[in-house]
Structure 1
């Protein structure tokens, strides 16, 4: 069982100490993301686990575009003993809920 949460149950603003781990690809990240999120693409997560460990997060919200990749990442991290929660509907749900995002460059943030 993968711990999951719906966007309506995610506090706004996010609580202090909560780490947001975004496991999408580089171009998705650049187009729109949660301010302050940490970016480690799903396929790089096992090799970059040390970077995640260094965050010393009491709890981590794992996000992707729609919730599938983040569910896999959350399952992997939970197996490693970390307190993680998958965001159901991912960044698509975040955007639909009107939650704030940032992007690279001058373009308005969007989910791709």
Structure 2
């Protein structure tokens, strides 16, 4: 997890709102939250695991988790693991979803898929 720790600013996003709709987030909530684009991600190590903050200034989401242990976010059951240099988040409970994040130089790339709808975001280390 060490390469992922720190603050990351969004520099590029493709198809994220369509992905959120496919996951099941109502369109009115996406609009009310300013598109729900996380403008900044902060990943920190805690005493018992990790803290992941997805910040957009309107509807911020903060989760705490331990690697390879299931946790819940609303109706979703999540697991975060590390494999082949990637942070892999799988979600179940509503629609199966997989999100992969990896670091290339000073960039973190996030790529997700739900029922064939894919998104990609690129963040730069702050």
Pick the TM interval, shorter chain: 0.3 to 0.5
More strand by share: 2
Q: Which structure has the higher relative contact order (CA within 8 Å, separation 6+)?
A: 1
Q: TM-score, normalised by structure 2?
A: 0.30
**More helix by percentage:** 1
What is the TM-score when the length of structure 1 is the normalising length? 0.32
